[in-house]
């Protein structure tokens, strides 16, 4: 009977620790270390559909920016299993026309793979 009570206390303690651990929001990633490049622009292309041309002229004027890369960083609440919410963070980098990469800094296996590149 004492063994059953001890096991029950351990299970309850583990459940409480898991619950408390899931309440902690991860710290934000530090700012991306690469500096912004100079903004390159090109003239608005000819032959765009009228709504698209109006949109670009309204937003950018006669010159539109040339996007070569983007970095998106943020926090997320995920529910992959049932009603359990897992806090997380992400950083997504994209080189237009080349590749993309999701950096999983919290995942030790991915960190080891990145170090081996």
In angstroms, the Cα distances linking 101 to 40, 43, 66, 73 are: 23, 30, 20, 12
State residue 52's pLDDT score.
93
Residue given tokens 């950018």 in the structure block: 60
pTM: 0.56
Q: Are 26 and 75 in contact (CB under 8 A)?
A: yes
57 by DSSP, 3-state: which?
A: helix
* C-alpha span between 76 and 108 (Å, rounded): 19
What pLDDT score was predicted for residue 101? 61
Cβ distance 88 to 94 under 8 Å? no
pLDDT digits (tens, 9 = 90+) for 29-77: 888 888 877 888 999 989 999 999 999 999 999 999 988 888 889 998 8
The pLDDT of residue 81 is 79
d(CA 22, CA 87): 7
Residue with more model confidence, 107 or 74: 74
Percent of the chain with pLDDT over 70: 84
């Amino acid at each position: 009977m004492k063994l059953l009570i001890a096991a029950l206390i351990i299970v309850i303690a583990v459940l409480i620790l898991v619950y408390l651990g899931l309440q902690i929001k991860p710290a934000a990633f530090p700012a991306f270390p690469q500096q912004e490049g100079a903004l390159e622009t090109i003239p608005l292309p000819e032959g765009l559909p009228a709504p698209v041309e109006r949109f670009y002229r309204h937003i950018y004027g006669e010159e539109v920016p040339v996007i070569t890369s983007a970095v998106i960083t943020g926090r997320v609440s995920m529910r992959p299993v049932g009603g359990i919410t897992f806090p997380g963070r992400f950083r997504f980098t994209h080189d237009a026309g080349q590749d993309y990469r999701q950096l999983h800094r919290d995942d030790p296996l991915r960190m080891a793979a990145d170090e081996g590149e």
